[in-house]
Structure 1
Amino acid sequence: MKTFESQLRVLCGGLLLAVGAVGCVVEFPDDVPYTCTETADCGGDGYVCTSLPNDGPRYCCLPDPAEVCNSVDDDCDGLVDNLDTPCYPGPEGTLDVGRCHAGESMCDRDGSTVCVGAVVPGLEICNGLDDDCDGAVDEDFDLKTDPGHCGACNNDCSFLQDCVNGECVRRQEVDCNNGEDDDGDGLRDCQDREDCDEQPCGEACVCRNGSRTELSCTNGEDDDGDGLVDCADRSDCLTGERCGPNRSEAPEDYPRCQVNGVCA
């Protein structure tokens, strides 16, 4: 690092007088900073005139090829430890794909190099972005069937709805005779009148007015499971209705239910 201070100029002039035509050569220690106004003051050899950080005094500096983390302005740009180089710690092939992009290399307090601001692949979420940087957007979500993202990201169906072809529709009781609350509304089978009224609940059973109803009073079976068979099920087999089959007669000759629930 070199400069031409006034005292050195005087010394060089004195030497010229002493040696006549012989040139004056002055060696400058490399570990001593010298002030300058412009690069020409630094005596060549690659030295440049730069300033200390924060617009400090200008001095002669010999640039190194690259800035490193050592609390020194290696590249003589007036900044200390400004690596100013891109970095990317993500998997190969994901840089600049989707949300992924490079960050900036910076010096840590311990002198190590860290990468700041880079975005690497993450978990894919439903947001219209390529979070995992694989070139596809929201590929893990089926917007036609996903009740949490029905038709669009974060369009959440209620607990009583299913997502069908991208629309939230009311879930229905799928079987009125399985003893299950299929649609999760707290009502099972025939109790779920909205879904099961007039729907079959067995071979000779139909849901009616929220309860199981005997359809046949002539088969000798407890079709609605209430413990009452044919005429004995007085709420379903009305007085005068034909009842219990007499195998030797045609159906039109079957006996009829009596007032007391007896088939006679």
Structure 2
Amino acid sequence: MTLAHKLSWIGVACVMAALGCRELNPNFNASADTDESCDDRNQSFSHSNCDGACVDTELNIEHCGGCAQPCFDHEVCKAGVCLVDCPGDRRSCDGSCVDTQTSLQHCGACGIACSLGEYCVNGACDSECPAPSLVCEPVCVDTDSSVDHCGMCNTACNDDRSCVMGTCDLVCDPPQTACADACVDTNTNSMHCGGCDQPCDGFCMEGACVQECAASLVSCGQSCVDLQTDPLHCGGCNQLCKAKELCDAGQCECEPDLDSCGEACVDLRTDKVNCGSCGHACAAAQSCKEGECACKGGKTVCDDGCFDTDKDASHCGDCDTACAMGESCERGGCE
């Protein structure tokens, strides 16, 4: 545990025990209001005394941006602002969770819209809806995996569910387990300690009910957690890591094989808006394969999309050659 964390928890202990703390931490003010830092030695975080505890209001989901300002479900607190954290492979676009593999307004990435009459197929705009996908107007979807059309058209899964083989299921990321329609960590959850529906009167530590936490762990509510590795309490209680993040040394980091681009963890090999590198976006009709923007069906990659340069009059023979008005493109030549 770092010096800053030790000082922070000393401050919490002092408030709880109503002790004079000035000897232990001369910067600590037990009567500090929410505008003051409860640990002035740690200037890189915005700590405040909320409900008798020293919390980071830039990261804490119960006190996001200030005391008693909780985030909603499926939100995380980043820089003091509650942000939508979409489950599974869905992304937050304009404040809503969308499937960028099928969305006509956000095809492959937020803000990339397909043209009238096109479908979004696997994150790329296409004029056809290939089998075995089905047209569920106005989108082309795989009903085995689509959360908006699971099993059949217009059968949507709840926000916390995934569509698996045409059925809406609660799918939890390890080490969490599905209990009572929620994903919980049975190693630390006091209502499901060691297994579902096994409540604990004390603290839940490594799946067992104990009366106090081990020296290396911290009590967050009725859970004993490791602030260095717990994604629900990363660096402090109630500081959640986002989807596709893990907690490493008290900091939320992208999972292996993913890279941080802005606020998102992405796969540069397949991410359409960060293809090969952050900010390198593919055109609407393109997809990202192995870090390169690619077109289907042997079409040529041009800056403004995918084209058949044998037939396309605006890209005849190559991306930069346009035929004159009244001419057509035949076998890559204007006629």
Q: Give the TM-score normalised by structure 1.
A: 0.28
| Greater share of residues in helix | 1
Q: Give the TM-score normalised by structure 2.
A: 0.23
| Greater share of residues in strand | 2
Q: Which has the larger radius of gyration?
A: 1
